[in-house]
A = this chain, B = another copy of it.
């Protein structure tokens, strides 16, 4: 349902959440179940071999399975029927003690694992670009802007370091979920594993092991934290990417012109346009990722031992959150890669206000004599004059020599701890990557 999805999401990520990928996830679950059963002598070893051999997505018709799934409300039931057909005598040993939800939920975890790996890869691309910018522009002065107004000087490196910290946090968050929260699902018809007699817990353990998924305390049929946690982690990735895209688009504004994307997009009608396409797509992907994650995070509780509709709605939400979350990171990385940074323009913009951007500094300099409130007032008054500098020099309450004032008005002299903060962010990034 995503028109022109190639615009948004890298191909390998689209593939990772495609029907064949889900199909393979379901088949992996069936294979693991058969192998676990064989390991416990619940099914013959050769049946397990035969089942495992048939658990390859390319042997099945995903479209036909989806069509058949409509009648039963899920794709696992028709897949199990097809798989049974495919394995001849081993048919009776297929899907041992499982229910459809076991298979679909486990597939969701396997699909997520692969897709989250790709999300991490895109976050790494993005992080590397942000780190490079933070390093290169550690001391490049530019205006910081609050409420979109120039506030005080900062460095472009600190801005990029802010992006970087968010990317590192998101990566940590995504990795933590990928490593700890992806849990095998096996509960049988309704979470008691009854069809497995007294071997239920053992088979769950082996099943989880084979799939290298976590073994949950209880089956999570009706407690959807695993999918919600994936959603939450992807909002962190989307946020980090959206911040980069959003800031680049703002800095690339014609009137600001401090950065430009390397490959600005063409317009169909305006020859001069160099659109911040990567940024726009990062933002779009991020919004879509957060909206899909929001379905997972905001879903009403599932009824009893399986939800009526709430469960079924998760599949699209999960696939979308993964695809667009990774798409956001990918497009933000595209935007940041080769970013053209115009340090002169940054300086010009910083100086354009004739010192207003360091009004705070002047105010602090005057405080010992005028008091904080008095100093604030004097400076605010001068800020409304045609020339801030001249007005200050003309004000008799101001006891600063012209050269003293000029030094204070020099924006790059008022960077505070910007550079130290960049170092701190880079150190953390490097620590996380070695």
Determine if A386 is an interface residue (Cβ-Cβ < 8 Å): no
The answer to whether B268 touches A291, judged by C-beta atoms less than 8 angstroms apart, is no
Chain B residues in 8 Å Cβ range of A409:
none
Given A144-B190, A275-B147, A379-B271 in contact, is the A84-B372 Cβ separation under 8 Å?
Answer: yes
Determine if A387 is an interface residue (Cβ-Cβ < 8 Å): no
Determine if A95 is an interface residue (Cβ-Cβ < 8 Å): yes
Minimum CB distance partner of A366 in chain B: B271
Determine if A319 is an interface residue (Cβ-Cβ < 8 Å): yes
The answer to whether A284 touches B305, judged by C-beta atoms less than 8 angstroms apart, is no
Minimum CB distance partner of A9 in chain B: B1
A to B CB contacts below 8 Å, 20 in the list: A1-B2, A4-B66, A77-B265, A77-B268, A94-B372, A145-B306, A146-B275, A151-B190, A169-B225, A195-B416, A201-B417, A243-B301, A246-B300, A247-B301, A253-B255, A271-B380, A272-B379, A283-B312, A291-B317, A316-B320
Which of B67, B72, B92, B280 is A266 in contact with, Cβ under 8 Å? B72
In chain A, positions 85-124 with a C-beta closer than 8 Å to chain B are: 91-92, 94-95, 97-101, 103
Given A99-B267, A269-B189 in contact, is the A239-B225 Cβ separation under 8 Å?
Answer: yes
Chain A 270-306 interface 0/1 with B at a Cβ cutoff of 8 Å (1 = within): 1111111101111111111011111101111111111
The answer to whether B1 touches A316, judged by C-beta atoms less than 8 angstroms apart, is yes
Q: Which candidate, A51-59, A160-168, A399-407, is the interface stretch facing chain B?
A: A160-168
Given A166-B223, A287-B313 in contact, is the A268-B99 Cβ separation under 8 Å?
Answer: yes
Minimum CB distance partner of A279 in chain B: B308
Q: Which candidate, A31-39, A125-133, A206-214, A348-356, is the interface stretch facing chain B?
A: A348-356
Chain B residues in 8 Å Cβ range of A324:
1
The answer to whether A195 touches B283, judged by C-beta atoms less than 8 angstroms apart, is no
A110 to B325, CA, bound (A): 29
The answer to whether B7 touches A190, judged by C-beta atoms less than 8 angstroms apart, is no
Which of B100, B235, B243 is A222 in contact with, Cβ under 8 Å? B243
Given A225-B166, A280-B312, A304-B250 in contact, is the A197-B416 Cβ separation under 8 Å?
Answer: yes
Given A149-B275, A250-B304, A284-B313 in contact, is the A154-B191 Cβ separation under 8 Å?
Answer: yes
Q: In angstroms, how far is the closest chain B Cβ from the Cβ of A144?
A: 3
The answer to whether B298 touches A416, judged by C-beta atoms less than 8 angstroms apart, is no
Q: In angstroms, how far is the closest chain B Cβ from the Cβ of A268?
A: 4
Given A5-B1, A189-B360 in contact, is the A73-B275 Cβ separation under 8 Å?
Answer: yes
Which of B76, B273, B428 is A268 in contact with, Cβ under 8 Å? B76
Chain A 1-28 interface 0/1 with B at a Cβ cutoff of 8 Å (1 = within): 1111111110000100111001000000
Chain B residues in 8 Å Cβ range of A271:
359-360, 362-363, 376-377, 379-380, 383
Q: In angstroms, how far is the closest chain B Cβ from the Cβ of A178?
A: 16
Determine if A41 is an interface residue (Cβ-Cβ < 8 Å): no
Chain B residues in 8 Å Cβ range of A92:
367, 371-373
Minimum CB distance partner of A89 in chain B: B371
